Amino acid sequence: MIIQAIFSYLEQWAPLHLQANYDNAGLQLGDPTMKVTAILTCLEFSLPVLQDAVEQGCNLVIAHHPLLFKSVSYISPNTRVGKMIYFSIKHKLTLYAAHTNLDFTPRGLAYKMAKKLSLNNISPLQPLEVTNWKITAWSSKDLKIVEKSLDLFNVVDVKKENYLYNSALSWIASINKQKAWITSVMNNPDIIYHVSPIRTMGRSDNIASMGLLGHFSSPVFVNDFFKKLKDLFQLKFIFHSDTIKSMVQKIAICPGSGGSLLTNAIKSKADTFITGDVGYHLFQSAENRILLVDIGHYESEQEVKKYFKDELSKKFDKIKIVATIRQQSAKQIYS
């Protein structure tokens, strides 16, 4: 099985068109036409993680945080990113990231966090706006297989695109039409496809969301709530704003760095907002309005390696898939 087939499956769970406009989710480095040997999953790329992949015979590494996030002016073996690029090319690794697309997709990282907290009545905190999708599709056997798959969907303006080793078809259509086509071919091993967004404002897609809302089945005392967070997320400490209620029940969440959603959380009348990377002045903004809780960027996302492994294992049970054991936070604590 080629690596691109893994990408196609992942992008059913976390479509690339959902990523934020500042993001760089998707292929980071490598050749997606190579045959996959084994897969290593992680939160973020690091040299120890890539070494772990090589030692375990994995040629595909899947992370949440992109390797190439900010612009790179030059590539040198003396920089953090450069070392990983040199190492990956030397060992023929392919690197892939599912970042904000995994944060925003309806069964993604925020949803996993909500279920971990045993929240009920889960709903979007800030729905995303998306319109059409562009699909590029090719076949491992014959492009006519892709052409035939389009017969039932009245797709117009199909274009042929030529690549170094093969050709593909691409087209743009509504979300619903593209979802119908994807559903019809998702179990066809001869068709591989890639989805990218064509964004316009004015249409709210309530399927995907930045952050989620949920409820505990009954109110929980704040101290018990903090203890629950510490146990579930293996926390040494928690940063939080002043407590304004003795109990909490309606919970807003955004794994990673979600401070920009504080206003949404307040407007939703949530009792508390759980996220990471909260600056000092944002705690001031939350004062007497909501219980703002910072459990840490890394801490809120560290189990994504397990989520990747579990999701991929549903489809690829004959491929070795391992979660790295060499993952650690870049933010260390002296105590």
CATH number at residue 171: 3.30.70.1150
CATH of the domain at 67: 3.40.1390.30
Print the domain residue range for 290: 109-128+206-295
Confirm if 271 and 245 have CB atoms less than 8 A apart: yes
pLDDT in tens, 126-157: 987 656 778 888 888 888 888 888 877 767 77
Question: Higher model confidence: residue 15 or residue 94?
Answer: 94
Residue at 137 is within a domain: yes
Cα 107 to Cα 113: distance, rounded to the nearest angstrom? 10
Asked if 123 and 230 sit in the same domain, the reply is: yes
State whether 258 and 119 are in the same domain: yes
Question: Which among 198, 232, 249 is the end of a domain?
Answer: 198
104 found inside a domain: no
CA angle centred on 196, ends 311 and 4, rounded to 5°: 50
Pairing assessment for the beta strands 159-162 and 167-173 based on DSSP bridges: antiparallel
pLDDT of 163 over the 90 cut: no
* Same domain assignment for residues 8 and 91: yes
**pLDDT, mean over the chain:** 90
Query: Do 7 and 92 belong to one domain?
Result: yes
Instruction: Specify the number of domains making up the chain.
Output: 3
- pLDDT, tens digit, 9 for 90 and up, residues 267-310: 999 999 999 999 999 999 999 999 999 999 999 999 999 999 99
Which of 151, 180, 198 represents a domain boundary (last residue)? 198
Ranking 109-113, 197-201, 242-246 by mean pLDDT, the lowest is: 197-201
Residues 167 and 79 in one domain: no
Quick check: is 332 in a domain? no
Please name the residues in contact with 39: beta carbons below 8 A apart, sequence gap of 6 or more. 6, 58, 60, 61, 62, 312, 316, 319, 320, 321, 322
Verify that 169 and 267 share a domain, yes or no.
no
Q: In terms of domains, do 159 and 186 share one?
A: yes
Is residue 32 included in any domain, yes or no? yes
Please indicate, yes or no, if residue 187 is contained in any of the structural domains.
yes
| 31 part of a folded domain | yes
38, containing H or E segment: strand 38-41
Asked if 233 and 246 sit in the same domain, the reply is yes
| Residue 238 shares a structural domain with residue 278 | yes
- What pLDDT sits at residue 206? 43
* Same domain for 186 and 249: no
The pTM assigned to this predicted structure is 0.79
Last residue of a domain, one of 198, 223, 240: 198
Whether residue 313 sits in one domain with residue 265 = no
